[in-house]
Amino acid sequence: MADQPLSTRLNAANQPQQLNNQAPSYQVPSQNVKQPTRWRRWFGYNVLAFMFAFAVFYGFVICILMVAVYEPFNLDWLDKPKLNPTLSIGILGAIIGLSAMVGSIAQRDGLDKLVSFWPWILKTGLITTFISWASIAIFMFIIEPRIISSSHQDLISRLHLIASIALIALATALAQLSEVRKMAQRPNDWVKITVATWIGLAISVVGLISITP
């Protein structure tokens, strides 16, 4: 050791200290890695979000009808939407968008409120509103005139409703993805769970309505 240069001996003496100061090469897994738990949680809160949105939408409709009973006003935009399509499409789309915003609050709870509040609900509300406007307009002006005398009118209407909900679920989930990426590993799972849950629930609700006498 005495024959070794002074610099070599100093490096050898400092080597254990350098090793001790090195940061560990592994990371402690976060709770997001627990896939079964996360899938169940996200699925459950998406079910809750759907129920909230569904309840709020029908709550708005019931309120409109109740007000019409006590304070009569023109409901042609609801009974005969083609007489005033702008009002019909505008009001229904806005109600659906507001309902989706309420549902998105439950979705945010499913993410432990780790995503920003206003960007989350505003993205959901705006995208839902725009897609609803487009969907209602397509049905009113393109689909309905072609199926008005068809024996499959009810079936086509229900399929259009399911397709619209599926498109809204996909579009909003993709918009929410930018927020989910900030707090979750494998954020694409959010899109899969959201779309699958909302389509499944839409089919279930439409199916129940179809068999109800």
Digit-coded pLDDT (tens) for 172-183: 999 999 999 998
pLDDT score at 18: 45
- Residue 5 belongs to a domain: no
Encoded tokens for 185: 């590993």
Residue 2 has pLDDT above 70, yes or no: no
**Residue ranges in the chain assigned as alpha helix (H):** 6-21, 35-70, 76-79, 85-110, 117-138, 144-147, 153-180, 188-211
- Residue 28 belongs to a domain: no
- Residue 11 belongs to a domain: no
pLDDT per residue over 135-147, tens digit each?
999 999 999 888 8
Terminal-residue alpha carbon distance, the chain: 97
- Residue 27 belongs to a domain: no
Residue 30 has pLDDT above 90, yes or no: no
At 168, which helix (H) or strand (E)?
A: helix 153-180
- Residue 78 belongs to a domain: yes
DSSP class of residue 184 equals -
Parent domain of 170:
35-208
- Residue 3 belongs to a domain: no
Instruction: Provide the Cα torsion 29, 35, 39, 41; round to 10°.
Output: -40
Q: How many domains does the chain have?
A: 1
Residue 29 has pLDDT above 50, yes or no: no
Residue 50 has pLDDT above 90, yes or no: yes
- Residue 186 belongs to a domain: yes
- Residue 60 belongs to a domain: yes
